[in-house]
Structure 1
Amino acid sequence: MRRLFQFGSKKHGAKVPYTRPTSTLRALTHRQAPVKSSTSSSVAAPAVSLPAQATGAVLQGVQVVCEGTDPVVDIVAVHGLNGHCEKTWTAGNGIDSVNWLRDLLPHDLPNARILSWGYDANTHSGSRVSCQYLFDHARTLVSDLCLERQITETSKRPIIFVAHSLGGIIVKSALIHSDAARRGALEEHRAVKLSTYGILFMGTPHQGGSGVALGKLMVNVASVFMAADDRLLQHLERDSEWLQQQLGQYGPISGDFVTKFAFEEYETPTVLGKSTMVVPRASAVVPGAADGEPIAIHADHIHMVKFGSKTDPGYKTVSGHLRLMATRAGDAISQRWDTEGKLDAVRSNEPIESFTVQSSVLEVSRVEYLVGREENITEICEALQYDGSRKTAVVHGLGGMGKTQLALAYAQRHRDDYSAVFWVNSKDVDTLKQGYAAAARRIYREHPSLVHLKTIAEGSDLGEATEAVKRWLSSAGNDRWLVIYDNYDTPKLPGHNEPGTFDIRPFLPEADQGAVLITTRSSQLQLGRPVAVKKLQEIEQSLEILSQTSRRDGLSLDADARKLAEELDGLPLALATAGAYLHLVPDSFAEYLQSYKKSWAQLQQDTPQLLPYEDRTLYTTWNISLDHVKQQSELAAKLLQLWAYFDNQDVWLQLLREGRGNAPEWFCELTQDRLVFNKAVRVLCDHALVEADATLGEGGKESRGYGMHSCVHAWTKYVVNEGCDSTLARLALRCVGLHVPGNSRPEYWVIQRRLLGHANRCQEVISVGSEERDGEGSLTGAFHNLGVLYADQGKLDKAEEMYQRALQGREKALGRDHTSTLDTVNNLGILYADQGKLDKAEEMFERALQGYEKALGRDHTSTLGTVNNLGILYADQGKLDKAEEMYQRALQGKEKALGRDHTSTLETVNNLGALYADQGKLDKAEEMFERALQGYEKALGRDHTSTLGTVNNLGILYRRQGKLDEAEEMYQRALQGREKVLGRDYPSTLETVNNLGILYADQGKLDKAEEMFERALQGYEKVLGRDHTSMLSIVNNLGILYKDQGKLDEAEEMYQRALQGREKVLGRDHTSTL
């Protein structure tokens, strides 16, 4: 008879403080009926109908679909990249086809001229090095429309665009181009933007989503409709980032149009025979867009613009919105042209030349490239959009995030929008005045007729130069200038009076005109619209900076380069620093990363200066912030130093409070109450060294956490601390170790997840032999609890290391028979059982049991917990009678001491259910599982790990009873809960994955069964190793499955591996081996 091995969750007994909370043994096996083989047949993928392509010559340019009757508006339809100016809008074929632009819309909008613009998507994408084909098409669209409207003398007639798919990108690009055509040979192109009243985007991707950048999403959309080797698709792939940057210029003008965002509701068949949501709602709709409204179309991406009749719900929606727009467009566009005429008149009369200073930002290096900052550029554009009054944007963020580069990139792109651009370094008062003096000299060079500036420009009185430039900027009519006040990192804030801080407001021009752009590290500066600069989100963006600064290509395929980019975590200065160093030396990316981790400070000192960065190196940039922090709050500076011994992410008040016993006086003051702690953290936040993470703090009463960038964390390790401080390291260990929760807390796993990174950092820092004889609550208790944490998180090797350190310390300090020592001995027994080392587990349990009985008595709960654990072990060894004896003793004792519904009692109830299932007593097993489940749900909730363990066990039982639907329901509930709580690769999760595989095999779904077994096998190999008993059970199950699939060689390989492993671990005579 063949055996498929199923895993049930068994619960270890509860323990005294500093002991491991409830855990699971995962080797419960049940005899299974043979898996029957089944035949499977392949089903051919359905044929996919893609948009019809034009035959023969492609219709290009403006096609008049309907002239209209006394038209007052132009409806302009633009198809997607692989569409057609007629067939994109046509439903059906042959004589029954309906082109709704021609056959339906004229009846509902008789006073509209309807135009369809066609183009060959590949016209501009031949062999060009720079892929600007979309914008070439956009300019052609503007040119064609202008020509048609000029010929028909309708240049000021309102326009409403209807754009499908990536055709919407071309429309947006066209409007960007039209808006920029202000003066010069193509000034007539501006008429298109001025006349555009509304846009109906039909399935156009406006933004990325679910971790996919916009450029990549555009490639994905195009790839649905064309072969992977299509040259247009290749161009789009190569330059998608460039396209995304260009489209960032659309944001500032988007509010000028009434916009409808139509999104598809059905998936679209693709060329591969599958279906996909081509442009999801999250990408097709821009949330919060001015004058924007989402509308749903009940069709897929292709058919959302094909309407066969006036009763089609999609047509009703689209035509209704078009009628409303057409009704309102006339007055709005007429007023817009009137306003433009008045502005032209003002421009023609104003002496603008007297305020023009040649655009040049010579004081700092030119920004040759900017990566991943298009959203910030758009924010600045929106903040500084001209309306005649003063506009101010405050760019803030951590030192090294590229705030200066962002400001300069904005100035370079928009220099033609301003009559003059000045850059003023504002790191202190004297430097700011020197910047104004430089501005005075530039103004005088451009306008020597301003004789009063001559003496000032040639003199040395910085105060006089400052006032003169301020007066010039405040002159009547001089309202198109931009001043960038860079590096204003020492603002004088309300309630603060630290040395070196100053108020910049007296240095700003007094008139309510012009544009001011301030860069600062302070998030508290409230002088204008804030623009937060965060780390780069996409790994490809980081690799691009590394590639550009190191002059090395092919980084996207270099695994070591990706590891380095991940370590530097999207900080532009860190990436540029690494690239500059690697440009000068032949070191590999792996060698640089090794040096970064081992010799951080020396590496930063040896790195060449970076001209685009004011502070030059990582080593110096945050030292300035540290000096300011020390001036404001000594507690904040101390917290920053302590942070080096925690993980960089998620430090919160309750975590620190655990270490208050015997802690330094400053630490007790810092953690005495929330107000003191928040005040210190706010100082760090204000300097952008730390930021709050609102996504954390999910652990019930635990507060949200604060985090810092990994590069800042490296600086705290190697610069702020200048070596390991053993006092702070032990303080951090106590904080983390003593905060590990027991599993009686309903959401204990949430806190454990938050602690894991800190535990890893503590393990890294604490040197061997650091435990001391300082009693309960000392480092031995912290080590013990870290063992609990690691074991519960499936990190068994680390758990063993922590338990061994705790055991050695407790035996030395307290003796072999102290109950705290025995707690660690008991937990080591659980760990060895988890590792499949059953003989060593039995040795630990026997020692703990004897010690507890001697010290506490036979009926103490700690004694009974170890009795329960011995029952689990005996069951795993196949000694079922001895297991039942242990379980019955534990159950009777716990019911007497704790009550029937205590969670510790329920653990043994659950375990008895598993044992009865092993013995074939299925009714008694079901009774036990039902009792345990009801108790757990009442005491701990539906999603607690103990509850899910019993749910998994009920799935096993239902399957053995032939209730396959009920079994699958239980398994799916257990799997979803465990993946959510514990993660995909946690041993308990993998138990349920294996069990689902067995169920699918029973149902004849052999492919799904194989998928489950393979996932479980890979997970167990990663977490537990190749020779763990649970691992060997999966190997055996795969052998059975391969045999049923006719893969006899693979089956034999699995059987041999399982047999050899079991003989080695369990012995030749163990029931599992036999």
Structure 2
Amino acid sequence: MSFGDRLREERLRRHLSQEALAEALALSARSIRRWEQGQAIPQASVRVQLSRFFGLSLEELFEDQKKSSSHTLHWCVPYTRNPFFTGREEYLTALHTSLYTNQEAESTHVYALYGLGGVGKTQIALEYAYRFAKEFSAIFWIGAETNDSLTSSLLQIAKALQLPECDDRDQQRVMTAVRHWLTTHSQWLLIFDNVDDLGILDLFLPSARHGAVLLTTRLQILGTRARGMQLLPMEHEEGMLFLLCRAKVLEADATNEQVLQLSVQKSSLYAVAVNLVTLMGGLPLALDQAGAYLEETQCGLPAYLELFHTRRTILLHQRGEGGQNHPMPVSTTFALAITATAERHPAVGDLLRVCTLLQPDAIPEELFRQGGTHLGPILGTVCSDVLDWNRVIALACSYSLLSRQPEAQTFSIHRLVQAVHLDTMTETERQEWTRRIIEALDVVLPEVQPTTEYPIWKQCERLLPHALLCLNRLTVEDSLALASLAYKTAQYLRERGRYMEAEPLYLRALRIQEQILGPEHLKVAALLNYLAALYWNQGKYAEAEKLLQRALSIWEQSPDHDQLNIARAQNNLGNLSWEQGKYAEAEPRYQQALHIWKQTWGSDHPNVATSLNNLAELYRMQGKYTEAEPRYQQALAIREQNLGSSHPEVATSLNNLAELYRMQNKYAKAEPLYQRATSIREQILGRTHPLVAEPLNGLANLYRDQEEYVKAEPIYQQALAIREQHLGRQHPETAQSLHDLAIFFQRQGKLREARSLVEQALEIRSQSLGNVHPKTIEAQELSTQLAQELKHTEEGAKSQNRTEEASG
């Protein structure tokens, strides 16, 4: 046994990967790889280090040892070793542990590498055969794709063993002879490649055997015949290394360290490679196919990426040279698997069509179970019965085209399976099936309101990426289901603070509803109201007011004079008046909304709390603290009782009450309210949601007012960063952060920093609120004050300098 073989054996015996051994010895993984492949030997000092680590003498570790004659190797493997084989060490280690250590067992287990076509099952089996050849007395390879390949493999094994029956025309006699040999010999490895029918194991394998059996298959369901090891696509680092080596950008024995060097030296080329590995989902066959094309054409990675975007169908059909171990291209591999799977049940084809038009990961089962009636008559019938549904899922997963995640109740499909299947569908089919999916999504996606319970948000988040994709894919705008899904998606995005994404969806929904229902329909009014709310969130107050006035007009002219929606419009118009400093206009609107909601629902409804809170805000801004406090308290109590203590609306009441206490210098009361409001919003909305910035900014103001400047500054910066990122630099709330931070610097005598910030705030407020808004006037007054203070300070400094010069 050579040193490389001995090193590999000792490493695997300790269940170590090449990287783990290198880390333990403070060496490079490349050195370990070169030693095991016989390309180099370590220097003397490292030899001693290896000897100590493995507990072997130098002679044991480095002296060549010959296998005894009883281990003469029978080799019957039809493929050459892949020089570009990359990574996959954990699979090879696990296989060796399972196969080699169980050779002496009385009843050897069968081990199966299973997974999607093109994921590299054959290549791992081949690399295992070459790497561990000397661990076995014989290695036989059986191509299990067809009867012809089985017969051919059987004859080759008989000839390799020089059995008397090797020339017998009776296939059964040849098989019996091979089985007899396997029964009477030990330490052999039998590899069945591409098994689609597990029944062949019963034909070939003897009942008593003393060897190892490995099979590769797309089948996920192995029953009692084999122990399975699922093979997944390459991880990012493995995929990058494989692609770059296969395309001859790097040498065949390159390491991950060299890939990282490429990211620094040729960052644009590295970025293209990252994009390609992502597009191909780490599928080795696709990466090999791309590498072969790049090697043959020398077109370069950027050109190939552009071709993949524009000519994907053709590229996926081109296998290239050097693919003798997997002669079929990606498109053929997947097309055959899709056809074979779909033939097993008529609903399987429809299921795969739906999954092809969704995002590849985390496809939620509830889309089918709850919205299945919209997914065609065949699939709809299956979705309504749990047993039928499970049967169809089992069939769809049987060739590893789909993977089911039972705990999460989701599926996943490889993106290249999607690509190949999508290319087989006509544009008419794509549009028709997308329309069906949109109808199903509209049934399943909840409508989010300000008082919506948080678990519903989780449901929205599961469905959101699929809804966005389908909304983007469907081009014909003649469906109310499309308008409804666009509206619901926009509602959720607005609640999550993703305003820029929400706006085009609201506008699309509005356009469709106006077209189908007419511009004066009540549903159109509701949409106008929510689009106005979005514009209010964005600080676009003039646009918001126009939409609300139009919605109010529709509701007032409706046959039943829709009082509840009139109250909603009046409340929202009151918010706009309040934001623009028109306090006299705001109060009667709030009072009207409060009166309607109390009459309709009683005094303890969440909408009543909304009106009370808004009135309290109005009074606080006018300095009417006595009128404000009891309304804040009442609104908080109603919300906690109806929505629970951890709802975002409760956080709103807590924040506003804290603002009142801060303005009254009741700091001890204000601080825990700010902290609780921040905690609720971070927990429910996420740490970077625009609404989180509000209590953060208030808390910073609180610390500033108490001259705790070290505490205040990082919180100011955090709130400002959130607002700039999600609302933009020209939003009134961004201006509020800049204004408050200016006061913070002013208090510390940092007048230049303060002046710069307040000038930015003044410009934003002038453009978004107008020059007569109270907040614009506030910023103008602060700017003037700072200018005077700065001038006074500079004049004082000059006077001091003159005095010092005169005295000098």
Where on the TM-score scale, by shorter chain, does this alignment land: which range?
Answer: 0.7 to 0.9
Distance 1:651 1:1071, change over 3 A: same
8 Å Cα contact 1:737/1:786 also seen in 2: no
8 Å Cα contact 2:165/2:177 also seen in 1: no
- Which of 600, 603, 618 aligns to 1:897? It is 600
Distance 1:355 1:948, change over 3 A: same
Letter in 2 for 1:441: K
- Which of 178, 182, 185 aligns to 1:473? It is 182
1:524 aligns with 2:233: no
Report the equivalent of 1:382: 98
Instruction: State the shift of 1:846 in Å.
Output: 1.0
- Which of 59, 79, 89 aligns to 1:363? It is 79
Show structure 2 runs of 5+ residues with no match. Answer: 1-23, 36-40, 251-260, 265-269, 778-808
Q: Deviations over 1:69-118 (max 9, x none)?
A: xxxxxxxxxxxxxxxxxxxxxxxxxxxxxxxxxxxxxxxxxxxxxxxxxx
Distance 1:140 1:932, change over 3 A: farther
- Which of 347, 355, 362 aligns to 1:650? It is 362
8 Å Cα contact 2:182/2:209 also seen in 1: no
Report the equivalent of 1:545: 242
8 Å Cα contact 2:158/2:165 also seen in 1: no
Instruction: State the shift of 1:429 in Å.
Output: 3.2
Distance 1:398 1:936, change over 3 A: farther
Distance 1:941 1:137, change over 3 A: farther
Instruction: State the shift of 1:1067 in Å.
Output: 1.1
Instruction: State the shift of 1:441 in Å.
Output: 2.2
Describe the SS at the equivalent of 2:176: helix
- Which of 868, 874, 889 aligns to 2:577? It is 874
Instruction: State the shift of 1:926 in Å.
Output: 4.7
Letter in 2 for 1:760: L
Describe the SS at the equivalent of 1:421: strand
Distance 1:179 1:814, change over 3 A: farther
- Which of 814, 824, 849 aligns to 2:552? It is 849
Instruction: State the shift of 1:925 in Å.
Output: 4.3
1:673 aligns with 2:385: yes
Report the equivalent of 1:341: none
Describe the SS at the equivalent of 1:706: strand
With 1061-1070 and 709-718 compared, the bigger mean Cα shift is at: 709-718
8 Å Cα contact 1:373/1:406 also seen in 2: no
- Which of 533, 536, 545 aligns to 2:231? It is 533
Letter in 1 for 2:541: L
Distance 1:607 1:413, change over 3 A: closer
TM-score (norm 2): 0.81
Paired residues for 1:42-53 under 5 Å? none
Instruction: State the shift of 1:641 in Å.
Output: 0.8
Distance 1:1017 1:823, change over 3 A: same
Distance 1:1008 1:178, change over 3 A: farther
Distance 1:660 1:528, change over 3 A: closer
- Which of 690, 693, 701 aligns to 2:402? It is 690
- Which of 480, 487, 492 aligns to 2:194? It is 487
Report the equivalent of 2:149: 431
Describe the SS at the equivalent of 2:775: coil
Q: Deviations over 1:753-781 (max 9, x none)?
A: 112201220132011xx222x6xx53332
Instruction: State the shift of 1:920 in Å.
Output: 3.5
Instruction: State the shift of 1:839 in Å.
Output: 0.5
Instruction: State the shift of 1:869 in Å.
Output: 1.4
1:515 aligns with 2:212: yes
Q: Distance in 1 between matches of 2:727 and 2:698?
A: 18
Q: Deviations over 1:570-609 (max 9, x none)?
A: 3333333333333444556455444434432122124525
Q: Deviations over 1:127-146 (max 9, x none)?
A: 979798999888636746xx
Q: Distance in 2 between matches of 1:640 and 1:509?
A: 39
Q: Distance in 2 between matches of 1:379 and 1:1062?
A: 67
- Which of 412, 416, 433 aligns to 1:707? It is 412
Distance 1:813 1:925, change over 3 A: same
Instruction: State the shift of 1:562 in Å.
Output: 2.6
8 Å Cα contact 1:787/1:802 also seen in 2: yes
8 Å Cα contact 2:183/2:208 also seen in 1: yes
Report the equivalent of 2:430: 725
Q: Deviations over 1:604-656 (max 9, x none)?
A: 12452562752543212211221221121221111111223222223334324
Paired residues for 1:438-837 under 5 Å? 438-444=156-162, 453-456=163-166, 458=167, 461-475=170-184, 478-488=185-195, 490-491=196-197, 502-526=199-223, 527-537=225-235, 539-553=236-250, 554-557=261-264, 558-585=270-297, 587=299, 589-606=301-318, 608-609=320-321, 611=323, 614=326, 616-656=328-368, 659=371, 664-694=376-406, 696=408, 704-719=409-424, 725-742=430-447, 743=449, 744-746=451-453, 747-767=455-475, 770-772=476-478, 778-837=481-540
Report the equivalent of 2:113: 395
Q: Distance in 2 between matches of 1:409 and 1:480?
A: 18
Distance 1:462 1:706, change over 3 A: same
Instruction: State the shift of 1:362 in Å.
Output: 4.0
Letter in 2 for 1:642: V
Paired residues for 1:908-947 under 5 Å? 908-922=611-625, 925-947=628-650
Instruction: State the shift of 1:748 in Å.
Output: 1.8
Q: Deviations over 1:365-413 (max 9, x none)?
A: 4364332441563255236523333132111112222222222233333
Describe the SS at the equivalent of 1:569: coil
Instruction: State the shift of 1:659 in Å.
Output: 4.8
Letter in 1 for 2:445: V
Q: Distance in 2 between matches of 1:1009 and 1:615?
A: 66
Instruction: State the shift of 1:1036 in Å.
Output: 3.2
Distance 1:131 1:373, change over 3 A: closer
- Which of 821, 824, 838 aligns to 2:541? It is 838
Q: Distance in 2 between matches of 1:364 and 1:660?
A: 49
Distance 1:795 1:125, change over 3 A: closer
Letter in 1 for 2:176: E
Paired residues for 1:264-303 under 5 Å? none
8 Å Cα contact 1:491/1:525 also seen in 2: no
Q: Distance in 1 between matches of 2:188 and 2:30?
A: 41
Describe the SS at the equivalent of 2:112: strand
8 Å Cα contact 1:363/1:423 also seen in 2: no
Report the equivalent of 2:126: 408
Q: Distance in 2 between matches of 1:965 and 1:581?
A: 70
8 Å Cα contact 1:470/1:509 also seen in 2: yes
Q: Distance in 1 between matches of 2:339 and 2:538?
A: 50
With 404-413 and 821-830 compared, the bigger mean Cα shift is at: 404-413
- Which of 48, 52, 57 aligns to 1:140? It is 48
RMSD after superposition: 3.7
8 Å Cα contact 1:433/1:465 also seen in 2: no
Distance 1:719 1:393, change over 3 A: same
Show structure 1 runs of 5+ residues with no match. Answer: 1-119, 145-169, 188-346, 445-452, 493-501, 697-703
Letter in 1 for 2:460: Q
Count the aligned residue pairs. Answer: 728
Q: Distance in 2 between matches of 1:461 and 1:941?
A: 79
Paired residues for 1:56-205 under 5 Å? 140=48, 143=51, 170=53, 174=54
Letter in 2 for 1:754: R
Distance 1:439 1:127, change over 3 A: closer
Distance 1:969 1:468, change over 3 A: farther
Instruction: State the shift of 1:885 in Å.
Output: 2.3
Instruction: State the shift of 1:1061 in Å.
Output: 2.2
With 820-829 and 791-800 compared, the bigger mean Cα shift is at: 791-800
Distance 1:520 1:1068, change over 3 A: same
